[in-house]
Structure 1
Amino acid sequence: MQLYALCDQDLLDRHKLSLEKFVDFAKRHNAVIIQYRNKNADVTFIKQQLIQLRKKYDGFLIVNDAYELIEYCDGVHLGQEDLKSIDADIFKAVKIVRKVIGSEKLLGISTHNEKEILEANKMDLNYIGLGAYRDTTTKKDISNILGNSIDAIATKSKHLVAAIGGVKLDDKFDNITYNVIGSGLIK
């Protein structure tokens, strides 16, 4: 499994962790991707954090939602609701984002079931997040825990798959490329 490290600002703040400590953790575990997520800050703060991350990390840097900041990173990740906030038609939303970020940048979306994977297969994406694998304290109201069925569901994707939601460093999967580990697991 390759590590996809999710740097969630709310969790960093809650656990009193710095970006530096997070990047050190990601590097120690050979993270190939870091995603920066901040659901509460303005675009200026997110931009500053991306610049700081880029100074410390030379792997793939993804921003959650803020696709207008694509020049400061290597790609964008969007959840299902975030897509719908761009356009009610998620296929149009992906086309809009792809047009803004270009074909050279990475684009990933979250999926939670086979139906969403089959929809994603028709989109110009680089990867999908699939989950939640198990219950997690970082997301509220998770209604769909995939558990051990996650591997079988992942086979339906034509894109690379990142296991999301309650994933641990030592989890092993047969059909999943990335284990997404969040800020809450850093000690």
Structure 2
Amino acid sequence: MARSFDLSLYLVTDPRLTAERGLEETVAAAVRGGVTLVQLRDPHAHGRALVEQARALRALLAPHGIPLLVNDRVDVALAAQADGVHVGQDDMSPQDARALLGPDRIIGLSVGSPQEFAASDLTGVDYLGTGPIKATGTKADAGAAIGAEGIAAMRALTTLPIVAIGGVDGACVPDVIRAGANGIAVVSALCGADDPQAAARALRDKVEAARR
């Protein structure tokens, strides 16, 4: 069984947006603001550089009990002893990832529609990333926006935890949480924020308020 995790405020890193401040500085500030899970995503980094980034983030996050996931790269997750991976529809299957990672690490899968859900073997999957909620500029192949209605449709199909992703901002948090999302995943809302700590605190407060 995978270790416990909290999807409330899930930070996905973007190397372009963190370049000026620095990756570790951005993540550390966001953690101080209330981030509960971090995914290292850098599609242009070579293996060695990605492993070094992952190790640095794991050292930063582990004392806080915050899991680190690596986007797509099971090999990097293993080398850096990260807490798991997030895979997309065209990446390594969750079943193969589970076979390599073992029972204790976290595996997330991107599922953007009921059609993708129906076509997915969810064996070994711990949570679903569903979206995009709104149009997003941080992932070119994210697909059409599904809104809170898409979260509600996915919630009707599964009891797996769901994190809403793609264009998520403070304005849509109440709707996606009430539609059944267990949390929100954000990129530019934190990586591109002038003050990631304050931005994270504001988003976390909105998540908690929507749950109440």
TM-score by structure 2 length? 0.76
How far apart, CA to CA, are the structure 2 residues paired with 1:158 and 1:119?
Answer: 17
Q: Work out which of the residue numbers 77, 81, 87 in structure 1 matches 2:90.
A: 81
Offset at residue 26 of structure 1 (A): 2.0
**Mapping of residues 69-148 of structure 1, within 5 Å:** 69-71=76-78, 72-83=81-92, 93-120=93-120, 122-148=122-148
TM-fit CA distance, 1:25? 3.0
**1:7 partnered with 2:17:** no
Distance 1:96 1:142, change over 3 A: closer
- Residue 3 of structure 1 and its aligned partner are, at CA, apart by 0.2
Do the aligned partners of 1:9 and 1:36 also contact (CA within 8 Å) in 2?
no
Measured in 2, the distance between the counterparts of 1:169 and 1:180 equals: 11
Structure 1 unaligned runs (5+)?
A: 84-92
Does the CA contact (< 8 Å) of 1:169 and 1:179 recur in 2?
no
Count of matched residue pairs? 176
Which sections of structure 2, spanning at least 5 residues, go unmatched? 1-6, 195-212
**1:169 Cα deviation after fit:** 4.2
- C-alpha distance in structure 1 between counterparts of 2:109 and 2:122, whole Å: 12
Bigger shift: 164-173 or 29-38? Answer: 164-173
Shift, 1:48, TM fit: 0.4
Distance 1:150 1:25, change over 3 A: farther
8 Å Cα contact 1:50-1:73 kept in structure 2 = yes
Runs of 4+ in structure 1 displaced over 6 angstroms? none
Shift of residue 120, structure 1, vs aligned partner: 4.1
> 1:181 is matched with which residue?
186
Relative distance call for 1:142 and 1:34 in structure 2 (3 A) is closer
- By how many angstroms is 1:129 displaced? 0.3
Shift of 1:104: 0.3
More strand per residue? 1
How many angstroms apart in 2 are the aligned matches of 1:62 and 1:77? 7
Structure 1 position 8, deviation (Å): 2.0
The answer to whether the 8 Å contact 2:71/2:86 transfers is yes
Counterpart secondary structure, 1:162: strand
User: Percent of aligned pairs with the same residue?
Assistant: 26
TM-score (norm 1): 0.85
